[in-house]
Structures are given as C-alpha cells and as structure tokens.
Structure 1
Amino acid sequence: MSAPVLLHLLRHGAPELAGTLLGRTDSAVTAQGLADCVSRAAGLDVAAIVSSDLIRARACAETIAQDRGRGVTIDPRWRELDFGAWDGHAPATIDPAALSAFWDDPDANPPPAGERWSSLTARVALACRDLTVPTLVVTHAGAMRAALATLCCFSQAQTWSIDLPYAALLTLRVWREPSVAAQIVGLAT
C-alpha cells in the first residue's frame, strides 16, 4: 500500500455577505474571517496550496501562501454549489417548501437554475484526484462536504449533518488504493 496524502480542507473566513446563500455570488471576506483562516492554517505542513476562484476563499489562500512564501493554485472545481436563482439571497426570503425540499434532497430538488449535488460531488471528485502531495485547499462548506462524500463514501445526509462554520479545518488522510479511500484525521471548528 502506498503512503497516504494529507489533505487539509479549510473553509473560507466569514464573508461580508454572511447570512445569505453564497454559491457563485462573490463576497469579500471580513478582516476577522481572514485572520481566523490564517490562524487555523498555522502549523500545517503542506507542499501545495489550492483555492476556489471565489474571492472569499482566494483572499484567505493568498494570505496564507504569502506568509509561507508560496504560490496558490486557483481551481474553480473547488467552488461552492451554485444556488442559481437563490444565490445571494437570505434563506428567509426563499419559498420555505422549496428550500426544505432542497435541504432534504439537493439532487432531486436543486435551486431554480442551480446546480445539483451530484454535479458538485463530480467536480470535487475530479479535483481530489489531482492532489498528490500534502495540500491545503481553501474552499467552501459545500465543496468540503462533497469531498467527504467522494473520499469517505458518506451519503449526502451524513455530509450535511457535519457543522462546518467559517474557518473550519478538516484534515483527511487519503490513500490512492480503491479499497481504502480516506480517513478523517481531524476537524477543527
């Protein structure tokens, strides 16, 4: 069996538009959110830093990388789920029945003009395959859950039951053998 690769998934810090469904809607990260991510990543030994292309994740990754004298690889496959017509709106402003159906089964009930859960997991699965060295990925809660679904074979319900607040850090030990996918090493919230 080959040696596992450490994968650190860090959710971006609190955005300025907190409290809304931020999928593809871009929002700057707050100063405190940025500081929280830098603090959370302190001490991680990584060979690469990857980020979603959205500014709330990218700003955190670039600051962490700058402190380490590293570059950042921008990978849009690590973007958040596209909430379509709901993107940028507070949950309280969305039809409660439609939102509840989405939370219960996001693949069968995607947001209007939005992305299905299976599409998110498929693109994150492809992104995960490219990670071959200890890596910090600065991303979003949905993409982190998709990685758990892909690497640990968690169901959608299992992944959505994990609380991932802003600046949450999830560390996985990932094997490349098909018989052993991943092991959760730690979760810091």
Structure 2
Amino acid sequence: MTGIAVHLMRHGAPRRQGLLLGHRDEPALAASSALCVARAQGLAFDRVVSSDLCRTLVPAAEIAAARGLKHAVDTDWRELDFGDWTGRTPDEVDPDQYARFWDDPDLNAPPNGERWSTLRERVWRALGRLREPSLVITHGGTMRAAIAVLFHMEHTQVWAFDLPYGSVLSLRIWPQPVGVGDAGHVAAAQITGLTS
C-alpha cells in the first residue's frame, strides 16, 4: 500500500497581522488567498478540507470549485483557542504568563483557552478521517500539532518548522485499517515536502 497524499496548507496572511487570532474569524488578505490558490495548482488531491474560519474557507472553496471537487468543513482543523488572549498582540499579554505558555502550553494554557493536548487530540481525529488524497487548508498551530502527533514530537521541536502564510506541508499517511486497534487513525506517516 502506498499511503495517502495529504497536503496541509497554512491560510494566507490575515488582514490584521501580529495578533493571537485563534478562533477569531479574521479574513485573509485577498492577495494572500490568491497565493494559496496558486500553490494548490501543482498539487494532486481528490478532496478539499478546511476549518470553518473564513481565512481558510475562502481559498478552500475557490480551489474546490476550480477543480470541481467537494469542499468539506471540519472544525477540528481550527487553530488553537487562545481564550482571553484572542485578538491581542503578544505584547498585550502578561509576559510571565506568555513565557510559561511557550514553555509548557499544556500546563499553562491561555486563560479560558485551549490546552496543547486538546489541539493535538482534535488534529489526530481529523487526520484519521482523511481516507483519500486531500488538501487541508488550516492554521500554523494546527499544522504543528499534526507534525507532533504523527511524528511523536514535543511542542518545542515542532516550532522549529518554519510555516509562513501560504506554506504547504506535504505528507504521506497510512491510515489504520478498519477493525485493527485504533481504527480511524494513522498508523504511519512521512513528510514528502515543504513549500514556503
């Protein structure tokens, strides 16, 4: 079995940059959404998936329409929920609290926000639902969570991946066969490319 090609694409640059957007539905710049559409042209996939936030929805819908494919929305591909920090710049957050978050985002989640382990669980479920070659337009934190769960990496390791707006992380995944152990999840994966 050759596995399934999965391309994770980070959405284009939002209109207001430098904010902890998380679940805020901030639109992307038109030119940066166009970059996502252009990047998709050289990729092979049979399905388009995105989070439900407009910065991923808009390019995903355009790409799907251009190829005559269905566009599926999956909220498990949303960015980390920054809770009370949503919409703020890092400078507007208590520096000690923010530093503790980066040191251990599971133990020190943003106030009223989401733990790193919860994001990882969401992404693990979403990956397990991919059963055909797919383009997933999603968010930087979500892409890093995918790397973490697929390759058993710590949060400190996945931040070494440079994932600018519009970047594409290409993977090959082998879903767990139905009826075997943790069915509906990924048995193995490899990174096949990174375009930024």
User: TM-score under structure 1 normalisation?
Assistant: 0.95
2:68 matched to which residue of 1?
Answer: 69
Residue-pair matches, total: 188
The CA deviation at 1:66 is 1.7
Letter in 2 for 1:188: T
Q: Distance in 2 between matches of 1:156 and 1:169?
A: 20
2:152 matched to which residue of 1?
Answer: 153
Is 2:30 the partner of 1:23?
A: no
Q: Distance in 2 between matches of 1:40 and 1:97?
A: 39
Letter in 1 for 2:166: A
Letter in 1 for 2:193: G
What is the SS of the residue equivalent to 1:175?
strand
Q: Distance in 2 between matches of 1:152 and 1:175?
A: 13
2:3 matched to which residue of 1?
Answer: 4
Sequence identity (%) = 48
Q: Distance in 2 between matches of 1:152 and 1:128?
A: 13
Match of 2:190 among 178, 183, 189: 183
Q: CA offsets, 1:75-115, max 9 Å, x none?
A: 00000000000001111111111111111110011000000
Letter in 1 for 2:31: Q
Is 2:81 the partner of 1:82?
A: yes
What is the SS of the residue equivalent to 1:144?
helix
2:43 matched to which residue of 1?
Answer: 44
The CA deviation at 1:3 is 2.4
Q: Distance in 2 between matches of 1:100 and 1:77?
A: 26
The CA deviation at 1:71 is 2.1
CA RMSD of aligned residues (A): 1.4
Letter in 1 for 2:145: A
What is the SS of the residue equivalent to 2:175?
coil
Runs of 4+ in 1 over 6 A off after TM superposition: none
Q: CA offsets, 1:143-164, max 9 Å, x none?
A: 1011111112222111122111
The CA deviation at 1:180 is 5.5
The CA deviation at 1:48 is 0.5
Q: Distance in 1 between matches of 2:63 and 2:187?
A: 31
Q: Distance in 2 between matches of 1:65 and 1:37?
A: 12
What is the SS of the residue equivalent to 2:61?
helix
2:112 matched to which residue of 1?
Answer: 113
The CA deviation at 1:56 is 0.5
Q: Distance in 1 between matches of 2:110 and 2:66?
A: 38
